[in-house]
Amino acid sequence: KQQANCAPCAAGSASNQVGRNHTCDLCAPGTSQQFTGKTSCTNCTAGFAVNVHGATACVACAPGTYTQADGHLTCDACTKQQFQSQPGQSLCSPCPRGQSNDLTGRSACFPCAAGTFSNQTGLLHCFNCPKGTAQPLTGATSCSACLGV
């Protein structure tokens, strides 16, 4: 059978071989190729991942997850004391003052409850107000001295 034209590799595959007997290779997990006729697949960039062969696109990491480097198959969960509220990110942020987090994979930290505070970033738990102080509000960064008690 004669072939009048070369068939380009489909999206999700690539080949850098020349000649009529070449085959296209599916993109490996951690890589993708959205265009036809390409010679290579591209690593997923930080904040994106894909865990299948033949991907045409990498998937943004969901809020609460991240990838720090290129070519990841899966996204990593943010650790305790951290969060990530946006998709497609390459790092997680420490919980801000007035909040804490004792769970992994969170898209937000928890505000400190009334009677507690956090005056530091990246806390696992909020601190109880010391004796002789109080805090009626949530999300506080300090407690106030009790007067006239």
Q: What is the pTM of this model?
A: 0.82
- Predicted local distance difference test score (pLDDT) of residue 145: 94
First to last CA, the chain: 98
Summarised one tens digit per residue, pLDDT across range 110-124 is: 999 999 999 999 999
**pLDDT tops 60 at residue 98:** yes
Compute CA distances 109 → 10, 64, 116, whole Å.
43, 10, 15
Which residues contact residue 81 at a Cβ distance below 8 angstroms, ignoring those fewer than 6 apart? 94, 95, 100, 101, 102, 122, 123, 124
The rounded distance, in Å, linking the Cα atoms of 80 and 126 is 13
pLDDT at position 7:
79
Q: Is the pLDDT confidence value at 1 over 70?
A: no
Instruction: Give the model confidence (pLDDT) of 26-67 as tens digits.
Output: 999 999 999 998 999 999 999 999 999 999 999 999 999 999
Q: Is 130 exposed, middle or buried (0-12, 13-18, 19+ CB in 10 A)?
A: exposed
Q: What is the pLDDT of residue 135?
A: 95
| Closest-CA residue to 78 (of 107, 57, 49, 117) | 107
